[in-house]
């Protein structure tokens, strides 16, 4: 019978995270965290490394059956909340935004090197690797968005990019849109007119926001994907 991973449970409590919160921090499911803590599954080497990067705990010790988390510092002392705070500040910045800005700068350089490497010929032969590299990047973006539950935060950043756009299409298409977003189209001034034939056209001014499109433009004037923007929330009285 597999032993419960007491070190992960203790680590989670030291940094004051629920199982769901801890799972979100490392891009895992809550069930995965539960399975480690109960001993149903062993934490993988990949997740042990991620936990070490996020918290500063010694990732290898988490796979060795120890009952308490150990710091990854040279002296290997018992891990504390102070270790977590120190690790966050030294490795990831004094604020989340500072850390994000620093990582953005470094990732831009990495992407430049990868993309330029993909288009360099091997001798006299052109390898045509760029499309495959970009597809790998897009798949990675989709995985990160899903694993870390970043969809709402991404949508929040895209929301200020809303713009008014004139759109002309047939009444049958407006009616189909209205079935999915009746309040959104109503806010744009749409009202069905049974006298209008399916193939007749209607032109409306809509508020649109760029949609999630990794590796492609998400800014005006030509976002790769556009979505109907939800009505703006009214200020409370």
* Distance in angstroms (rounded) separating the CA atoms of residues 107 and 27: 19
The CA-atom distances, in angstroms, between 207 and each of 138, 158, 168, 195, 235 are 27, 13, 14, 26, 19
* Residue 199 DSSP code: T
Residues 20 and 83 placed together within one structural domain of the fold: yes
Residues 77 and 145 placed together within one structural domain of the fold: no
Residues 16 and 88 placed together within one structural domain of the fold: yes
Residues 198 and 171 placed together within one structural domain of the fold: yes
Asked if the structure places residue 117 within a domain, the reply is yes
What is the tens place of the pLDDT at every residue in 74-105?
A: 999 999 999 999 999 998 887 888 888 889 99
Examine the fold and report which residue of 42, 62, 92 is the final residue of a domain before the chain moves on: 92
Q: What is the pLDDT of residue 112?
A: 95
What is the tens place of the pLDDT at every residue in 19-69?
A: 999 999 999 999 999 999 999 999 999 999 999 999 999 999 999 989 999
Residues 10 and 34 placed together within one structural domain of the fold: yes
Q: What is the number of structural domains in the chain?
A: 3
CATH number at residue 33: 1.10.260
This prediction's pTM? 0.82
Q: Give 200 or 96, the one with higher predicted confidence.
A: 200
Domain that holds residue 199: 157-228
Across the beta sheet with 201-210, what order do the strands follow? 163-170, 201-210, 226-228
Residues 84 and 144 placed together within one structural domain of the fold: no
pLDDT class of 230 with cuts at 50, 70, 90: confident
Residues 161 and 224 placed together within one structural domain of the fold: yes
């Amino acid at each position: 019978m597999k032993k419960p991973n007491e070190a992960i449970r203790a680590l989670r409590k030291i940094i004051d995270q629920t199982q769901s919160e801890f799972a979100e921090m490392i891009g895992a499911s809550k069930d995965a965290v539960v399975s480690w803590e109960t001993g149903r599954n062993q934490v993988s080497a990949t997740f042990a490394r991620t936990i070490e990067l996020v918290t500063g705990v010694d990732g290898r010790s988490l796979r060795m059956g120890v009952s308490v988390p150990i710091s990854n510092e040279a002296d290997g002392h018992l891990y504390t909340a102070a270790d977590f705070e120190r690790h966050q500040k030294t490795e990831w910045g004094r604020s989340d935004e500072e850390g994000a800005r620093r990582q953005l700068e470094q990732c831009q350089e990495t992407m430049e090197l990868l993309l330029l490497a993909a288009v360099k010929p091997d001798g006299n032969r052109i390898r045509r690797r760029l499309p495959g590299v970009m597809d790998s990047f897009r798949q990675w973006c989709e995985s990160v968005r899903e694993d870390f539950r970043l969809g709402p935060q991404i949508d929040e950043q895209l929301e200020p990019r809303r713009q008014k756009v004139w759109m002309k299409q047939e009444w049958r298409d407006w009616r189909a849109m209205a079935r999915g977003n009746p309040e959104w189209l109503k806010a744009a001034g749409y009202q069905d007119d049974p006298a209008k034939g399916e193939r007749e056209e209607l032109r409306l001014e809509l508020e649109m926001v760029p949609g999630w499109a990794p590796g492609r433009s998400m800014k005006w004037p030509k976002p790769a994907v556009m979505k109907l923007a939800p009505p703006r929330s009214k200020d409370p009285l």
